[in-house]
Amino acid sequence: MRHIKNPPNPYNRYSAEFVGEPPPTKLEVFEETATKKVITKAFASDWDGGWRYTVNCYRGCIHGCTYCFARQYHEYLGYGAGTDFETKIVVKSNAPRILREELKKTRDKMPHLDFSFATDPYLPLEAEYKLTRQCLEVCADFRVPVGVITKSPLVTRDIDVLQKLKVTVFFSLPFLTKESSNPFEPYTPVPEARFRAMKTLSDAGIKVGIGIAPVIPGYNEPDIPGLLERAKEAGAGRAFMSMLHLDTDSIEDYFVQKMHERLPATRVTKIINTIKRERGGTLRHRSYKERGEGKTEQWEVTKKLFDFHARRLGLSGHHSPETSEPENTQPVQASLF
């Protein structure tokens, strides 16, 4: 049984600490119908780099990856970045209708939409709500090219819609085995299931790729060649990789706390020391520019390892995140309407 564990929310004036054992967590689903915009502009150093237009039909993510940078967005809602992010899920139930209205206004100017960044578009609730599916149908109607990034085989349910789109589906697959995935991605579909789904999509004529993100220094670098090989066998044509970045104090706290719970102490010490070497003494990057890059020769070796195997396998790939600092975080609509 899981119990509530949230680092203090920096946006709240007060935080509660439980006396004794915290209460067990339970899944809570909130439907939000007041959404006025579902397209937002996000700076993505992890995935192709640069500014992206993104759509997220949910807030929070049941998959609960301990490193997830989207955890910070839950704090804006007054929730915690820890178990709250994994168990208090907001469903934007009018997202498909709003997306259609927004795309009508952009009049063929929307270059590309990405389904990801603040949640997994195929978290388990999508099986019931079908909001990502409906939004993809809207994109097909407006002929908007799409990118999807997911950890879930549920995406194969939507092959019929994906076949109508210009789309690449990336599977986020940073670890080769269930055992190595479990400490960091405890509630996600196992890597084997993701590779099977990749093959199913590829066999259906849909472009697929692999995202080796995050590379956790001192932990999963040896998985890189094997991951690229498995992806190639499953039909991938593209690959990207990026280094772990712990964007806020809360995410760092939660990440470290969960490592201590799930890995032997010597392993945790090794990982923490390796990350600190890459970050110049701390676990966090000092500036946005340094978010996706390590500082040591070892990180250069890791990038060369990725390059070598991606080239050998004929995968088009990248690992160099955009290094320019984001200049504004305003939604894009103003420039499109």
Q: Which of 44, 61, 99, 243 binds ligand SF4 (CB under 6 A)?
A: 61
CB of 153 to ligand SF4, least distance (A): 13
Q: Which is nearer to ligand SF4, 151 or 309 (CB)?
A: 151
Q: Is 119 in the site for ligand SF4 (CB under 6 A)?
A: yes
Q: Which is nearer to ligand SF4, 103 or 131 (CB)?
A: 131
Q: Is 120 in the site for ligand SF4 (CB under 6 A)?
A: yes
Helix axis angle for 224-233 and 297-313, nearest 10°, is: 20
- 20 dihedral zone (left: phi>0; alpha: psi -120 to 50; beta): left
CB of 143 to ligand SF4, least distance (A): 27
Q: Which of 7, 49, 64, 96 binds ligand SF4 (CB under 6 A)?
A: 64
Helix axis angle for 265-279 and 297-313, nearest 10°, is: 100
Residues 122 to 151 in contact with ligand SF4, rule: CB under 6 A: 151
CB of 152 to ligand SF4, least distance (A): 8
Long-range contacts, stretch 123-127, CB < 8 angstroms, 24+ apart? 123/58, 123/61, 123/62, 123/63, 123/89, 123/152, 124/62, 124/152, 124/154, 125/29, 125/58, 125/62, 125/89, 125/91, 126/57, 126/58, 126/152, 126/154, 127/154, 127/157
What does DSSP say about strands 238-243 and 207-215: parallel, antiparallel, or unpaired?
parallel
CB of 192 to ligand SF4, least distance (A): 17
Q: Which is nearer to ligand SF4, 114 or 309 (CB)?
A: 114
Q: Which is nearer to ligand SF4, 106 or 220 (CB)?
A: 220
DSSP letter for each residue of 52-120: EEEE-SEES-TT--TT-TTHHHHHHTT--SSHHHHHEEEEETTHHHHHHHHHHHHTT----EEE-SSS-
Q: Is 210 in the site for ligand SF4 (CB under 6 A)?
A: no
Q: Is 63 in the site for ligand SF4 (CB under 6 A)?
A: yes
Q: Is 231 in the site for ligand SF4 (CB under 6 A)?
A: no
Q: Which of 38, 55, 65, 243 binds ligand SF4 (CB under 6 A)?
A: 65
Q: Which of 42, 57, 68, 227 binds ligand SF4 (CB under 6 A)?
A: 68
Residues near ligand SF4 (CB under 6 A), total? 9
Question: In the chain, which ranges are E strands?
Answer: 28-32, 39-43, 51-55, 58-59, 88-92, 113-115, 146-150, 167-172, 207-215, 238-243, 316-318
Stretch touching ligand SF4 by CB under 6 A, among 10-18, 58-66, 107-115, 202-210: 58-66
Q: Which is nearer to ligand SF4, 63 or 230 (CB)?
A: 63
Name the residue among 169, 156, 170 with its Cα closest to residue 211: 170
CB of 165 to ligand SF4, least distance (A): 21
Q: Which of 38, 55, 57, 70 binds ligand SF4 (CB under 6 A)?
A: 70
CB of 119 to ligand SF4, least distance (A): 5
Stretch touching ligand SF4 by CB under 6 A, among 19-27, 65-73, 258-266, 282-290: 65-73
**Rounded CA gap, 256 and 282, in Å?**
13
Stretch touching ligand SF4 by CB under 6 A, among 10-18, 61-69, 194-202, 215-223: 61-69
DSSP letter for each residue of 114-147: EE-SSS-TT-TTHHHH-HHHHHHHHHHHTT--EE
Contacts with ligand SF4, residue ranges (CB under 6 A): 61, 63-65, 68, 70, 119-120, 151
